[in-house]
């Protein structure tokens, strides 16, 4: 499995944990969109489906790699309205075997056709 560079992975973990702590202290009822995006990115980067597993996998990977200075994740800007952005992450799922299942990929199946490769 491909893994991001240790510096990028360390930056994602640190940003996630910092933002989680800030939101917890502030008493946020729901995670912010940025926290959700970081969680999703960590899951994709580590090949996991939930944040606890992603954090554990990231820490395990970082423990086995040489030290690299943390590189903060690049700031995000909102995508143009005609291009999908982070909000589409909620509709992306993995089918058994690790294949992506998106609404576009599943539509032919619902219509009785063949799945897209």
pLDDT by position in tens, the chain (length 117): 677 899 999 999 999 999 999 999 999 999 999 999 999 999 999 999 999 999 999 999 999 886 555 556 566 665 555 555 554 444 444 555 555 544 444 445 455 555 544
pTM score: 0.56
pLDDT at residue number 4? 83
pLDDT at residue number 87? 46
Domain residue extents for the chain: 1-73, 89-117
State both tokens at 82: 């005609």
pLDDT at residue number 3? 75
């Amino acid at each position: 499995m491909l893994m991001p560079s240790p510096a990028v992975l360390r930056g994602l973990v640190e940003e996630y944990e910092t933002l989680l702590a800030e939101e917890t202290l502030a008493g946020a009822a729901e995670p912010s969109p940025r926290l959700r995006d970081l969680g999703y990115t960590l899951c994709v980067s580590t090949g996991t489906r939930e944040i606890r597993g992603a954090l554990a996998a990231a820490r395990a990977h970082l423990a086995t790699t040489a030290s690299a200075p943390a590189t903060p994740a690049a700031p995000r800007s909102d995508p143009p309205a005609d291009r999908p952005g982070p909000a589409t992450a909620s509709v992306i799922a993995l089918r058994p075997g690790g294949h992506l299942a998106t609404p576009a990929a599943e539509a032919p199946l619902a219509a009785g056709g063949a799945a897209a490769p």
